[in-house]
Structure 1
C-alpha cells in the first residue's frame, strides 16, 4: 500500500488548517508604513520622518501628564497576528504618547501591547544610568493583549512518538 499520495494531500491540508487557527492582524498596514525597528529609528530618527508604524512589546512604565500619557515600551517582534513575541530578542525601547489620561492600573508593567501610530521625533533619556534615545510615537490605536488572546491561534497540539501523561 502506497501512502505517498495520501501524505501529499494531507500535508498541505494540515498546514492550511493550522494557519486558519491564527487570528488575523488587528491593524491594517498602511501603504508606506515604516518597517524599521525602534532601535533603528533611534539611531537615525530624521531618516524616518513622521512615518506610520505598528509596534508592540512589553510595558516598562506609564506616566501621566496634565494633557497626555506616555508609555515606555520595550519592543519585541510581532507575529502574523501582530502579537508581541516576548521570548524573542528585544528591538529597543520607544515612548508611546496617548492623548488624555490612561489609568496606569489597567496597563501594568510587563503587560503586552500592540499599537499603530505616527512617529513624532525622538527624545534623549536614559535606561538606568545609560544614555538612550527614545523614538516617540503618537498613538492612533492600541491594544492590550489578554492571556486568552495570546493563546488563540496556538493550538494545544503536539506530535511525537512515545507514551506520555498530562494533567491539565
Structure 2
C-alpha cells in the first residue's frame, strides 16, 4: 500500500512541477494577427517584396535613434524572442532592421543598448551601411512597442537548477 501511494505521489509530482514552472513565465505581450508572419529581419532583407505589408513581432537591442521632420527611426539588431516575447540577446543576432515610429522619439527614452519588442508592419526596405559594409534594412512601421526593464527581463525565470556538485551564485 505504501509503495502504491509513493508511486501515485511521484507520478503526480512531475506534472505539477512542470505546471508550476510554466506558470512562472509571463504571457506574450502582443497577439499575432491573421497577417503576422514568422520570419527574421535577415530573411526579409533578402526578399523585401515577398513580405511587403506583412505584420511582424520582432525584438532586439537598440543601436541608434534618428529623429526626422515627421517621424523617428530606431535601428535595432534583431534577436529571437522567448515565449514571453522578450529578446534573447545572449545568442546570435537575426540581422538589423529599422523601426519607423510616428512623431518624435526621445533618444534618452530609447537608449542604445536597451532591449525592445515591437509589433508592426513591414513597409519596405532601405540600403545603408553598417560600418563600411553595404546593408539592406527592412523597415517596420511600428504599431506598438515595449522597452524591457532589467526586472522584466529576469521575471519569470525561476531560481531553480538541477545538477551535481557545488555551485555558487551571486546576483
What range is the shorter-chain TM-score in?
over 0.9
Q: TM-score, normalised by structure 2?
A: 0.92
Shift of 1:107: 1.1
Equivalent in the alignment of 1:127: 130
Shift of 1:32: 3.0
Instruction: Tell me if 1:6 matches 2:4.
Output: no
Alignment of 1:117-156 (within 5 A): 117-156=120-159
Counterpart Cα distance in 1 of 2:162 and 2:11 = 18
Q: Provide the aligned C-alpha RMSD in A.
A: 1.5
Shift of 1:159: 2.5
Instruction: Decide which of 99, 104, 107 is 1:104's aligned counterpart.
Output: 107
Shift of 1:167: 5.9
SS of equivalent to 2:49: helix
SS of equivalent to 2:108: helix
Unaligned runs of 5+ in 1: none
SS of equivalent to 1:71: strand
The number of residue pairs the alignment matches comes to 168
Shift of 1:39: 0.2
Shift of 1:161: 3.8
Shift of 1:166: 5.3
Unaligned runs of 5+ in 2: none
Shift of 1:74: 0.2
Alignment of 1:11-26 (within 5 A): 11-26=14-29
Alignment of 1:37-116 (within 5 A): 37-116=40-119
Counterpart Cα distance in 1 of 2:58 and 2:67 = 21
Residues 128 and 140 of structure 1: CA distance in aligned 2, closer, same or farther (over 3 Å): same
Shift of 1:5: 3.5
Counterpart Cα distance in 1 of 2:127 and 2:58 = 20
Counterpart Cα distance in 2 of 1:127 and 1:164 = 41
